């Protein structure tokens, strides 16, 4: 399907502040960006670079006063995210070099502490896709998905203790459980068609059967309409904006996703 996504931020800046933004979706194996817009008001010098994970990042210094970031894109993405029950666990020796780092614990995914729990959750499952699927089922049953329930990222261990979280939190716990079983898993931030309430979204991918598959514990059933903006080990890598110095929060943030003809 073809989607038009947009994400706008408005900041009220009191002292010039360096930002690193990650708001430009990339065309890749899963999606094609046919049109894209990225506007700053006022216009300031921007330097774009590609990070370790292949994300396009925009560096700038936000000037004092009202500062707006307006982005939109027209993207072709799959009508239905691929599913592959039975897809096997990839033996570590066959995991590609550049996927290996997604096996390591990271800031918000303390996978080194979840092995026992993951083993119980996935008992009786075939190693691979079915294990991840069992983790998704467990997350849906156990952790309440409550948009707005946390505003700063919390870690998988904290989420597990709270038993409630936002999309990012469920993804962190899902990732930690996968990695604790030696299944590579990574965070994705982006858009989801018909997400309710509409907002930026976070989900995760797991590497089984020789490729990455999409998983999302916040949805009752896995449909399509995902548009990825950033990939990383966890939320620390894929903040749509990182600002340095005194904390600054958007005074307004708007996200839209609508279906269009291609």
Does 158 contact a copy of itself by CB under 8 A? no
Q: Is the dihedral of CA 177, 111, 30, 166 positive or negative?
A: positive
Which residue, 90 or 195, has its beta carbon nearer to a copy of itself? 90
Q: Read off φ and ψ for residue 254, nearest 5 degrees.
A: -130, 130
Does 119 contact a copy of itself by CB under 8 A? no
Reference 234, options 164, 173, 192, 159; nearest CA is 173
Does 106 contact a copy of itself by CB under 8 A? yes
From 120-128, 140-148, 160-168, 237-245, give the range in contact with a copy of itself by CB under 8 A: 237-245
Interface with a copy of itself in residues 29-88 (CB under 8 A): 29, 32-39, 43, 45-52, 54, 56-59, 61, 76
Which residue, 37 or 258, has its beta carbon nearer to a copy of itself? 37
Helices and strands, counts by H and E, the chain: 4, 14
CB pairs under 8 A, 24+ apart, for 118-122?
Answer: 118/177, 118/178, 118/180, 118/181, 119/181, 121/177, 122/181
| Residues whose CB is less than 8 angstroms from the CB of residue 134 and which lie 6 or more positions away in sequence, other chains included | 121, 122, 125
Considering only 69, 81, 103, 159, the residue that binds a copy of itself (CB under 8 A) is 103
Q: Which residues bind a copy of itself (CB under 8 A)?
A: 18, 20, 26-29, 32-39, 43, 45-52, 54, 56-59, 61, 76, 91-93, 97, 100-101, 103-107, 109-110, 112, 152-153, 182, 236-237, 242, 244-245, 262
């Amino acid at each position: 399907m073809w989607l038009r996504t947009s994400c706008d931020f408005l900041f009220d800046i009191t002292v010039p502040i360096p930002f690193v933004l990650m708001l430009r979706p990339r065309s890749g194996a899963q999606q094609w960006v046919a049109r894209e817009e990225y506007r700053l008001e006022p216009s300031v010098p921007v330097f774009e670079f590609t990070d370790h994970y292949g994300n396009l990042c925009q560096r700038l210094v936000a000037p004092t006063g009202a500062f707006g970031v307006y982005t939109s894109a027209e993207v072709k993405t799959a009508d239905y995210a691929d599913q592959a029950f039975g897809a096997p666990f990839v033996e570590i020796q066959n995991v590609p070099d550049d996927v290996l780092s997604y096996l390591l614990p990271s800031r918000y995914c303390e996978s080194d502490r979840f092995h026992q729990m993951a083993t119980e959750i996935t008992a009786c499952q075939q190693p691979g896709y079915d294990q991840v699927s069992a983790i998704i089922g467990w997350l849906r049953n156990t952790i309440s998905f409550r948009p707005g329930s946390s505003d700063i990222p919390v870690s998988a261990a904290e989420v597990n203790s709270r038993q409630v979280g936002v999309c990012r939190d469920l993804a962190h716990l899902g990732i930690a459980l996968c990695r604790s079983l030696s299944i590579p898993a990574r965070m994705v931030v982006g858009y989801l068609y018909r997400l309710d309430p509409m907002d930026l979204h976070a989900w995760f991918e797991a590497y089984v059967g020789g490729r990455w598959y999409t998983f999302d514990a916040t949805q009752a059933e896995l449909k399509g309409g995902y548009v990825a903006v950033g990939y990383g080990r966890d939320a620390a890598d894929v903040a749509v904006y990182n600002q340095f110095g005194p904390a600054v929060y958007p005074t307004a943030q708007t996200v839209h996703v609508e279906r269009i003809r291609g």
